[in-house]
Structure 1
Amino acid sequence: MFGAEGATGREVVRQALALGHRVRASDLTLQAPEPFPETVEAIPADVLNDDLRPVVRGMDAVISCLGVSNHPTTLLDPPPLYVDGTARIVEAMQAEGVRRIVVISASFVVAKDRGPILFRTAVIPSLTRVLDQMRGMEALLRVSGLDWTAVRPGWLMPGEPTADAWIGPDVIPADLIRTRIGDLAALLLDCAVNGSWSRATPAIARDEPDFEESSTKVVLEMLA
Structure 2
Amino acid sequence: MTRIAIVGGHGQVAQHLIHDLRRSDHDAVALVRTEAYRDELEAKGAEVRLLDIEQQEAAAFATAFAGCDAVVFAAGGGPDGNIERKRTVDLEGSLKSIEGARQAGIRRFVQISAIGVDDPLPADTGDVWRAYVEAKRDADAALRASDLDWTILRPGRLTDDPATGLVSLGPDVQRGDVTRADVAAVVAAALDTDSTIGQQWALTNGATPIADALS
Q: TM-score range by the shorter chain?
A: 0.7 to 0.9
Greater strand content: 2
Judge which range, 189-198 or 152-161, deviates more. Answer: 189-198
2:116 alignment counterpart: 108
Give the match's secondary structure for 1:59.
coil
Regions of 4+ moved over 6 Å: 120-125
Question: In structure 1, what is the Cα distance between the partners aligned to 2:190 and 2:151?
Answer: 7
Contact 1:58 1:98 in 2 (8 A): no
**Aligned counterpart in structure 1 of residue 52 of structure 2, from 46, 51, 62:** 46
Q: How does 1:56-205 map to 2 (within 5 A)?
A: 56-71=65-80, 73-75=81-83, 78-111=86-119, 126-169=128-171, 171-173=172-174, 176-205=175-204
SS for the counterpart of 1:4 is: coil
TM-score, structure 2 normalization: 0.81
Provide closer, same or farther for how the CA distance between residues 133 and 182 of structure 1 changes in structure 2, counting only shifts above 3 A. same
Q: Classify 1:135/1:162 alpha carbon distance in 2 versus 1 (closer, same or farther; 3 Å).
A: same
**Cα distance in 2, alignment partners of residues 63 and 31 from structure 1:** 22
Unaligned runs of 5+ in 1: 114-119, 208-224
Q: Distance in 1 between matches of 2:33 and 2:141?
A: 25
Letter in 2 for 1:2: V
AA aligned opposite 1:99: R
Instruction: Calculate percent identity across the aligned residue pairs.
Output: 22
Which whole-Å CA distance do the structure 1 matches of 2:149 and 2:99 have between them? Answer: 14
Deviation at 1:29, TM superposition (A): 1.2
- Distance (Å, rounded) in 2 between the aligned partners of 1:7 and 1:200: 24
Whole-angstrom CA distance in 1 between matches of 2:55 and 2:85: 19
Structure 2: 5+ residue stretches without partners: 1-5, 207-215
Contact preservation (8 Å) 2:108, 2:149: yes
1:9 Cα offset (Å): 0.9
How many pairs are equivalent? 198
How far residue 121 of structure 1 moved from its aligned partner, in angstroms, is 9.5
How far apart are 1:123 and its partner, in Å?
7.6
Partner of 1:218: none
Return the match for 1:36 from 38, 41, 45. 41
> Do 2:53 and 2:93's aligned partners in 1 also have CA atoms closer than 8 Å?
yes
Q: What is the rounded CA distance, in whole Å, between the counterparts of 1:108 and 1:172 in structure 2?
A: 9
| RMSD of Structure 2 on Structure 1 (CA) | 2.6
CA spacing shift, 1:160–1:123, aligned 2, 3 Å: farther
- Alignment check: 8 A CA contact 2:21 2:28 kept: yes
